[in-house]
Amino acid sequence: MPALLEVIDADITTLAVGAIVNAANAQLMPGGGVCGAIHRAAGPALAEECAALGDCETGGARITSGYALPASHVIHAVGPVWGGGESGEDAALAACYKNSLALARGHALRSIAFPAISTGIFGFPAHRAAHIAVRTVAEATRDGEIERVVFCCFGPESTQLHKEAVAGLAR
């Protein structure tokens, strides 16, 4: 049975899931937005583990402990910086979701929560990103290994875009 896809407007750092996904920078260091919030909530040990991992390529993902978070793990996915859409940004964004799900499977995690990767300071158009995220996750979770996927949005606009993308799957 495919994964249950949920869309919520919430603080991702409060979710008790197998893993939350961090919209990370290539150095996996604390930053702004969701990345900064995750690092603050997890505590300083998260940044120490990330430093030991080294850099991560765009589209790639790394996994760490969740430390003080309710989630047992944090998956750090490096999304693309929007450059107009002609430099492989769509494929790189889809790779973030696929690679994050592969790590979750590899650690036998049954639930995962994603923010809207690359739609903040990386400038990826929110509508386009929501459709890529939902389509990629739906395709990658058909096997049922991951039971629950939460698209944890920040604000009503992102929430609505993700709800519309999920509703579009039924058509």
Rounded-to-integer distance, Cα 49 and Cα 64, Å: 7
Mean local confidence (pLDDT), 21-44: 95
In tens, the pLDDT along 33-81 reads 999 999 999 999 999 999 999 999 999 999 999 999 999 999 999 999 9
Rounded-to-integer distance, Cα 28 and Cα 52, Å: 10
Q: Rounded to two decimals, what is the model's pTM?
A: 0.96
Rounded-to-integer distance, Cα 93 and Cα 118, Å: 8
**Could you give all domains of the chain from N- to C-terminal order, each with its CATH number?**
4-169 (3.40.220.10)
* Closest-CA residue to 56 (of 112, 109, 16, 103): 103
What's the token pair of residue 71?
Answer: 């989630």
- pLDDT > 90? residue 2: no
Rounded-to-integer distance, Cα 24 and Cα 5, Å: 22
- pLDDT > 90? residue 135: yes
- pLDDT > 90? residue 153: yes
Bridge-based pairing state of the strands 61-65 and 73-78:
antiparallel
DSSP string spanning the chain?
Answer: -PPEEEEEES-GGG--SSEEEEEE-TT----SHHHHHHHHHH-HHHHHHHHHH----TT-EEEEE-TTSSSSEEEEEEPPPPSSS-SSHHHHHHHHHHHHHHHHHHTT--EEEE--TTSSTT---HHHHHHHHHHHHHHHTTTSSS-EEEEEESSHHHHHHHHHHHHHHT-
Question: How large a percentage of the chain has pLDDT more than 90?
Answer: 94
pLDDT at 43: 97
Mean local confidence (pLDDT), 104-128: 97
pLDDT at 117: 97
- Averaged pLDDT score across all residues of the chain: 96
Largest CA distance in the chain: 45
pLDDT at 3: 87
- pLDDT > 80? residue 171: no
